[in-house]
């Protein structure tokens, strides 16, 4: 597997063509996923290793993808900390009791992932057997700020009013929350690697709501601690921060071998900021998958030109694939990446 296209790119080694995978590649845009979802709840699928394995494999049966990513949810370790939530189809995850006081933060447990979410590790072990060396397997976790935001807001947010208010008005409480989450994330990712994940990605999906000073003070130390704690594991580490074009140098310095990019910055410009000692992942707009195939190919070619053959580029969307994406357009993107980047 060390000679797989994806792992070679993670280590900035030459490849025969650019590897590609898609964030949320196992999900609602696939009819086979929707069929399974009619029989099982979202959390049942996440917590049943055989179901998580099946969903993870579904896109690989359709597309020539270069990596699989374990089917799960970023809030799995948060629930284990003692913050139960419900998945509502029209809204996503909703916490029963948002964490907004010192007492609520105090009640959260710093848990050992191997003991509290063993189903994730069992799914990884099953997947490694099922994949049988076909492609590498990616593990993942939400980053501390994104997980803290869910805990404090209680659901998805546009303004992040409650979490940012806690940051500014009660920084001691906020830092205590971040420290607890950070230790759980380290345990969670470490357990995934031990179970067989060959790469991991840290998703900081909501961090783009912060300015640079806030990132430095409230986020940077915790993300840096995660990457430093896991650097000795010997697996490539991907750091994806959404809507973070103004923070890229700080994201880079926080850690990660590959820096994920959204579509709001050109790939070549971003790589100049990230620097030659890191790879980059990205970064086509997911909405472009609704465009004509010719447009998809043209935009794909543009990103490949921006990468300019430098080792260390992994092609991906700038965020997750949308549920109504045409399947044939997703396939057109994947095929175009391989065809247009062939060395």
Please, which residues bridge with residue 138 across strands?
Answer: 69, 199
Check residue 13 and give its pLDDT: 97
- Catalytic choice (5, 12, 37, 252): 37
pLDDT tier at 249, thresholds 50, 70, 90: very high
User: DSSP string spanning 265-318?
Assistant: S-HHHHHHHH-TTSEEE--B-GGGGGS-HHHHHHHHHHHHHHHTT-TTEEB-BS
Mean pLDDT of the chain: 96
- Apex 185 CA angle, 8 and 204, nearest 5: 70
Residue 152: closest CA among 101, 107, 103: 101
Residue 91, pLDDT score: 77
Say whether 37 is catalytic.
yes
Distance set, CA 208 to CA 215, 230, 244, 336 (Å)? 9, 24, 5, 30
Annotation marks residue 150 as catalytic: yes
- Active-site hit among 66, 73, 204, 257: 73
What is the pLDDT at residue 315? 98
Predicted confidence (pLDDT) at residue 89 exceeds the cutoff of 90: no
CB count within 10 Å of CB 342 equals: 10
From the list 28, 114, 216, 264, the catalytic residue is 28
> pTM of the entire structure?
0.97
Interatomic CA distance for residues 245 and 208, integer angstroms = 8
Residue 107 annotated as catalytic: no
- Asked whether residue 328 carries a pLDDT value surpassing 90, the answer given is yes
Mean pLDDT, rounded, for 255-279: 98
State the catalytic residue, choosing from 5, 12, 29, 150: 150
**Could you tell me the two tokens for 269?**
């410009």
Residue 133 is given by DSSP the state T
List the catalytic residue out of 24, 128, 252, 297.
24
CATH topology of domain 34-276: TIM Barrel (3.20.20)
The average pLDDT across 230-237 equals: 96
pLDDT digits (tens, 9 = 90+) for 128-156: 999 999 999 999 999 999 999 999 999 88
pLDDT in tens, 28-75: 999 999 999 999 999 999 999 999 999 999 999 999 999 999 999 999
**Residues 112-130: b if buried by 16+ CB within 10 A, e if exposed:** ebbebbebbbbbbebbbee
77-104: average pLDDT: 89
- For residue 96, what pLDDT band results from cuts at 50, 70 and 90? confident
Q: Is 224 exposed, middle or buried (0-12, 13-18, 19+ CB in 10 A)?
A: middle
Categorize the per-residue pLDDT at 314 as very low, low, confident or very high, splitting at 50, 70 and 90: very high
User: From CA 337, how far away is CA 279, in angstroms rounded?
Assistant: 17
User: Does pLDDT of 277 surpass 90?
Assistant: yes
Question: Rounded CA gap, 334 and 45, in Å?
Answer: 26
């Amino acid at each position: 597997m060390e000679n797989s296209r994806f792992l070679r790119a993670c280590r900035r080694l030459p490849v025969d063509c650019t590897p590609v995978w898609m964030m949320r590649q196992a999900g609602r845009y696939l009819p086979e996923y929707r069929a399974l979802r009619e029989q099982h709840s979202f959390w049942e699928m996440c917590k049943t290793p055989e179901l998580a394995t099946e969903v993870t494999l579904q896109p690989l049966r359709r597309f020539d993808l270069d990596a699989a990513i374990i089917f799960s949810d970023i809030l799995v370790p948060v629930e284990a900390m003692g913050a139960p939530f419900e998945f509502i189809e029209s809204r996503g995850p909703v916490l029963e009791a948002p964490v907004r006081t010192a007492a609520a933060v105090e009640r959260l447990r710093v848990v050992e992932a191997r003991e509290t979410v063993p189903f994730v590790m069992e799914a990884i072990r099953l997947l490694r057997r099922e994949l049988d060396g076909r492609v590498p397997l990616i593990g993942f976790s939400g980053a501390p700020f994104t997980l803290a935001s869910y805990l404090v807001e209680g659901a998805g947010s546009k303004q992040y009013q409650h979490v940012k208010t806690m940051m500014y008005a009660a920084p001691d409480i906020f830092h205590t929350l971040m420290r607890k989450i950070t230790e759980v994330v380290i345990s969670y990712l470490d357990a995934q690697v031990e179970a067989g994940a060959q790469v991991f990605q840290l998703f900081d999906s909501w961090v783009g709501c912060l300015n640079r000073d806030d990132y430095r003070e409230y986020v940077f130390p915790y993300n840096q601690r995660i990457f430093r704690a896991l650097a000795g594991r010997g697996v490539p580490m991907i750091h994806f921060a959404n809507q973070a074009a103004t923070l890229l140098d700080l994201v880079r310095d926080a850690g990660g071998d590959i820096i994920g990019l959204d579509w709001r910055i050109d790939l070549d410009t971003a790589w100049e900021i990230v620097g030659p000692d890191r790879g980059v992942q990205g970064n086509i707009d997911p909405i472009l998958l609704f465009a004509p195939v010719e447009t998809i190919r043209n935009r794909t070619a543009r990103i490949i030109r921006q990468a300019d053959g430098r080792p260390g580029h992994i092609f991906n969307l700038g965020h997750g694939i949308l549920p109504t994406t045409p399947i044939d357009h997703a396939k057109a993107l994947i095929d175009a990446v391989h065809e247009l980047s062939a060395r």
